[in-house]
Amino acid sequence: MYDIVLIPGDGIGTEITESVTSILDSAGVDINWINCKAGETAQKEMDNPLPEETIEAIKKYRIVLKGPLATPVGAGFRSINVALRQKFDLYSNIRPAKSLPNIESPYREVDIVLFRENTQGLYIGKEHWVDEHQQHAESIAVVTRDASEKIITAAFEYAKKHGRKKVSLVHKANILKLTTGLFLKIGKEISENYPSIEFEDLIVDNMAMQMVLRPQQFDVIVTTNLFGDILSDLASGLVGGLGVTGAANIGENAAMFEAVHGSAPDIAGQNKANPTALLFSALMMLEYLEEFRKAERIRSAVYTVLQDHKEVCTQDIGGQGTTQSYTDAICKLLRD
C-alpha cells in the first residue's frame, strides 16, 4: 500500500479528485490517501493557504496528488503551486502533450514531452518597486548552473530511457545573453554526453511558430521556467487543451502530480468537470511508482471510452455526459 498526500484543491477540485481516486481503486491500486488542504479552501477554513500540517505531511510521505488551486489575481496570497515547487525543490516540471482518440484538434500524431525548469527564471516573482510612488517596477530572472544542469540532464535522461530521438532546447540567448545564454551553454555541454540523441536549440519566438506549424517535428523539449509555462500550455492546445494533459513536478526528495488547469468555480458542484487532466497526472504518478501495468490499463480504458463511448464524456471534450457518467464508464471497463 502506498501512502500518498491528496490535496483536492479549490472549485472543481473535490469532484475531479473523487473521480480519479475511484478510478485508481477500480484498477486495483492500493493507496492510503492522506487528505490535506491548501489554496483558497485552506485560507477560508484555516486562515492559511499553505497550512503547516500540509507541509509536514508532504515532508513525511513525499508524494502528492493535487487538484487545482485558485490564486488571487493582482493581490492576496502568492501562488501556492509556486510555493510548493520551491519549498520542496521540485525542479523538474514534466508536461506531456499527446494526441488522443476522438478529441477534436486540427493536429494529429503529436507526441511531445516538455521539461520546464521549475524553481528559477522570471516566474519566481522576484520583483520590487523602483520608486516610492509605485510607477516603476522591476522583475529579476535568476538562472544558475546547478538548476540548469539538473533540468537539462533530466530531459536527456528521459529521452534515453523512453527511446526518444531528439531534445530541443528553447531560449532567448540572442537578447537575454547572460541568463538564457547560460542555459544554452550548459545545454550544449550536456548534449555531448548523449551522442545518440539529436540536439537542437531554438529561440522561443521561433519555437512558438514552429510548434503551431508542425508540432510533429518535436519530441522532448527543455526550457526555462516562464518559457516552459507558456509553451506547455501551447502544447496542450495542440491536443485538445489543459483538460486532457497531465503534469508532474519532481525533485530529489518529493514529487507532486497535478492538474494544471484552473479551479473553474463557475461549474463547481454541477457534475460537469472533466477529470482527465488529473487522471493523466495520476498515471504519471503510477509510473513514478513503477506501477506501469496498472497505469497502462487505466490509459487503455480512457482511450476506449473516448473512442467508443463518447456520449458519456463531459461536454468540454464533445460528449453529452457528466463527470459521473465518464468516471463510471472508465471504472466499468477496469472492473470488467
Kindly state whether residues 202 and 252 are assigned to the same domain.
Answer: no
For residue 72, the model assigns a pLDDT of 67
Last residue of a domain, one of 207, 239, 271: 239
Kindly state whether residues 193 and 136 are assigned to the same domain.
Answer: yes
Q: Among this protein's residues, is 272 annotated catalytic?
A: no
- pLDDT band of residue 128 (cuts 50, 70, 90) is confident
Let me know if residue 119 belongs to a domain. no
**Percent of the residues in the chain that have a pLDDT greater than 90, as a whole number:** 89
**Percent of the residues in the chain that have a pLDDT greater than 70, as a whole number:** 98
Kindly state whether residues 138 and 208 are assigned to the same domain.
Answer: yes
Kindly state whether residues 70 and 143 are assigned to the same domain.
Answer: no
Last residue of a domain, one of 239, 263, 284: 239
- pLDDT band of residue 74 (cuts 50, 70, 90) is low
Kindly state whether residues 244 and 205 are assigned to the same domain.
Answer: no
* Average pLDDT of the chain to the nearest whole number: 94
Catalytic residue (choose from 66, 172, 201, 326): 172
Q: Among this protein's residues, is 146 annotated catalytic?
A: no
Beta bridge pairs of residue 33: 4
Let me know if residue 291 belongs to a domain. yes
Query: 264-305 pLDDT, tens per residue?
Result: 999 999 999 999 999 999 999 999 999 999 999 999 999 999
Q: What is the CATH number of the domain that holds 92?
A: 3.40.718.10
- pLDDT band of residue 77 (cuts 50, 70, 90) is low
Let me know if residue 120 belongs to a domain. no
**Once rounded to an integer, what is the mean pLDDT over residues 76-98?**
88
Domain range spanning residue 21? 1-99+240-336
Residue 76: pLDDT above 90?
no
Query: 175-202 pLDDT, tens per residue?
Result: 999 999 999 999 999 999 999 999 999 9
Kindly state whether residues 84 and 9 are assigned to the same domain.
Answer: yes
**Once rounded to an integer, what is the mean pLDDT over residues 323-332?**
98
Backbone angles phi, psi at 141, to 5 degrees: -95, 130
* Domains contained in the chain, number: 2
Residue 222: pLDDT above 90?
yes
Kindly state whether residues 235 and 269 are assigned to the same domain.
Answer: no
Kindly state whether residues 293 and 312 are assigned to the same domain.
Answer: yes
Cα 112 to Cα 215: distance, rounded to the nearest angstrom:
8
Kindly state whether residues 209 and 254 are assigned to the same domain.
Answer: no
For residue 93, the model assigns a pLDDT of 97
Laid out side by side, the sheet with 92-98 consists of 31-35, 2-7, 63-66, 255-258, 248-250, 92-98, 111-117, 220-223, 166-171, 198-203
Q: What is the CATH number of the domain that holds 213?
A: 3.40.50
Let me know if residue 52 belongs to a domain. yes
Kindly state whether residues 17 and 72 are assigned to the same domain.
Answer: yes
Query: 31-44 pLDDT, tens per residue?
Result: 999 999 998 888 88
Let me know if residue 118 belongs to a domain. no
Catalytic residue (choose from 123, 150, 201, 326): 123
Cα 20 to Cα 13: distance, rounded to the nearest angstrom:
11
Catalytic residue (choose from 3, 25, 205, 266): 205
Contact yes or no for 228/115 (Cβ under 8 A) = yes
Q: Among this protein's residues, is 123 annotated catalytic?
A: yes
Catalytic residue (choose from 10, 201, 229, 328): 229
For residue 212, the model assigns a pLDDT of 97
Q: Pairing relation of β-strands 111-117 and 220-223?
A: parallel
Q: How many other C-beta atoms can be found within 10 angstroms of the C-beta atom of residue 309?
A: 18
**Once rounded to an integer, what is the mean pLDDT over residues 216-231?**
97
Cα dist from 80 to 41, 233, 293, whole Å: 12, 19, 33
Let me know if residue 180 belongs to a domain. yes
Let me know if residue 76 belongs to a domain. yes
Kindly state whether residues 11 and 64 are assigned to the same domain.
Answer: yes
Let me know if residue 309 belongs to a domain. yes
Kindly state whether residues 71 and 159 are assigned to the same domain.
Answer: no
Cα 141 to Cα 190: distance, rounded to the nearest angstrom:
22
Last residue of a domain, one of 188, 213, 239: 239
